Amino acid sequence: MTVKDSNGAELKDGDSVTLIKDLKVKGTSITLKRGTMIKNIKLTANEEEIECRAEKVKDLVLKTCFLKKV
């Protein structure tokens, strides 16, 4: 299984990524802004999703189509 970001770059556990779009976090009033760097990602069983931690949000799941590898 290979996990790819929005540009087609391969992602691995521990990589750093940035957001390419403002994203609202469900269940909170927090909006993650475009350009936010997210470090130390974890791959999931679904190749279109990753797990991570961002600013004030723990255990966040993001779609890879909104990410760009740093």
Segments in 1-70 forming alpha helices (H):
none
pLDDT tens digit string along 18-52? 999 999 999 999 999 999 999 999 999 999 999 99
**Selection from 37, 44, 40 nearest residue 20 by Cα:** 37
Tokens of 49: 């999703």
Alpha carbons 1 and 34: distance in angstroms, whole number: 27
Q: What is the pLDDT of residue 52?
A: 97
Model confidence at 56: pLDDT above 90: no
Q: Which two tokens stand for residue 57?
A: 């949000």
Q: Is the pLDDT of residue 15 over 90?
A: yes
Q: Can you list the domains of the chain with their CATH numbers?
A: 3-69 (2.30.30.40)
CA dist., res. 1 & res. 61, Å (int): 18
